[in-house]
Chains A and B, each alone.
Chain A
């Protein structure tokens, strides 16, 4: 019988620590599928963040470094400069990248550092127990915005893909989502393109992936997927924000 579905070889065969219904697993899988397809697992060096994906260094079947909170793009810069023919990627959440690591991601992008960042945006600090993130939507309740994010006091969410696409350094910036099968397919395509661009030496690439946090959103996995459609997509429109090959489009 023909095998039509299997674990990607670039994903270690082990149980993950992610909560039921969380989409980190899908995103890990997409990266691993692309690693398998483009055959760069033995050249890959990943950088794990601090946040829900902190144990990501265990799950990818390639060399990995664990970075300090927010510093993954700086760590990846050091790695890439030493191993220029390696394929270097960071896997970061929204607290890690858009809050404490804002300087590191902006400057890695501005330098056109030839690395790929997979930016997982679920609008909340998951691992520490559901605190407000820079990406938390206006009005959303979290453990540090218990009355709902009040933009007069707590400001507005940061739209990372839009912000970074204003820079000259990046070669490819896209926002995708994994809340439905067609979107998963598009997300895979974007991740593949980002790695292809890095391998071709085109410069900095980032794929922002809208993700869910049923545990800290206080929703069932299905309700969480609905929230992506209903609340996140209007605030965080999907699309390719920068593509040096195609010119900017949306």
Chain B
């Protein structure tokens, strides 16, 4: 602890999980996240942990379900097509209220798509993905230190809320190398897992891990309980970073790797005297509506930039609610926007905004 080490994104995420006490990892190969299960296969035996290469992403997420249901900190990772396969299991985890951490190192889609970075899985991550009314806590780190910090947070918050947490990265984040420090930012009082199926010798009475509620009033009651939990998450877990927003006339809204590129654009525009700021959601769900909402009265326009055809922009528009113009610039298919492109788009918006 306290030492900075140079690591690749996928491996740093793996080490952060181990530092957070995760001892059960269930994976399946898919590019560009392969270094994560590979790292876990090396590291888990060193910490008396378990790595299983599952027969499919479907099996991997259900192994996570079993392990989480038995009270362990469990993790799986994949990339877009594999995350689609995990959606069934993610819905079951949410329904059965099991804590788990899932990493999506997003690649281009739809279909088999490409192995280049993308942010085309935003809808899937924050609007559902699987069946039924459920929500995941979704973290979108923009650099490796943040990824490492958020993995630690993810395990704590998963346990706190008894809910799966998704780390939404992308191919850039997974593949880049940066110095990171493994640290615990916040100590939390976490509830004991009295519900875990560890065998009745470990607890009084019989524990059942289940998402089946056949009677309609019972299932509605369960859903109301889940919704109350999600409302609490919306009140307490919104996170965002703001850069030069105080006097900004135009605010760029971007997350993850794209936000990092947008930062460069903001810096060069500021040097040229343009009043532009960056609003970067760190939690994609809950979307940081409160902080963004406060900016709306002061800005003339917003520009959402994504590596997608425009997904997060819908949530931005929900917050802005027609009060100001919300523009969008996106690249797709593994194409990464450059700072120059973002600057140019921003200047166009300002031209219109003036």
Contact = CB atoms under 8 A, between A and B. Distances in A.
Contacts of B65: 65, 67-68, 71, 74-75, 78
A75 B66 contact: yes
B66 A63 contact: no
A64 B70 contact: no
A87 B89 CA distance: 23
A240 B38 CA distance: 39
B52 interface: yes
Nearest to A57: B208
B354 interface: no
Contacts of A164: none
A74 B59 contact: yes
B208 A78 contact: no
Contact of A68 (B55, B60, B92): B92
B45 to A, nearest CB: 13
Given A78-B24, A78-B65, A79-B69, A65 B59 contact: no
Contact of B63 (A41, A54, A77, A106): A77
B218 interface: no
Interface stretch (B11-19, B144-152, B196-204): B196-204
Main secondary structure of the interface of A (DSSP, over half): helix
B200 A71 contact: no
Nearest to A86: B199
Given A77-B63, A103-B59, A64 B197 contact: yes
Contacts of B208: 57-58, 63-66
B66 A79 contact: yes
A106 B96 CA distance: 26
B84 to A, nearest CB: 15
B253 interface: no
A107 B206 contact: no
A42 to B, nearest CB: 4
A167 B271 CA distance: 68
A63 B52 contact: no
A79 to B, nearest CB: 4
A63 B199 contact: yes
Contacts of A43: 199, 201
Contacts of A184: none
B199 A83 contact: yes
A57 B24 CA distance: 25
A74 B66 contact: yes
B328 interface: no
Interface in A30-66: 41-45, 47, 54-55, 57-58, 61-66
A78 B43 CA distance: 18
A62 B67 CA distance: 17
A200 to B, nearest CB: 18
Give the one of B59, B60, B89 with max A CB within 10 A: B59
Interface of A: 41-45, 47, 54-55, 57-58, 61-68, 71, 74-83, 86-87, 103-104, 106-107, 111
Q: Which 4 A-B pairs have the closest CB atoms?
A: A78-B66, A78-B67, A74-B62, A75-B66
Given A68-B92, A71-B65, 8 more contacts: A44-B200, A58-B208, A65-B66, A66-B208, A77-B59, A78-B62, A78-B69, A86-B199
Interface of B: 24, 26, 50, 52, 54-56, 58-60, 62-72, 74, 88-89, 92, 96, 197-201, 206-212
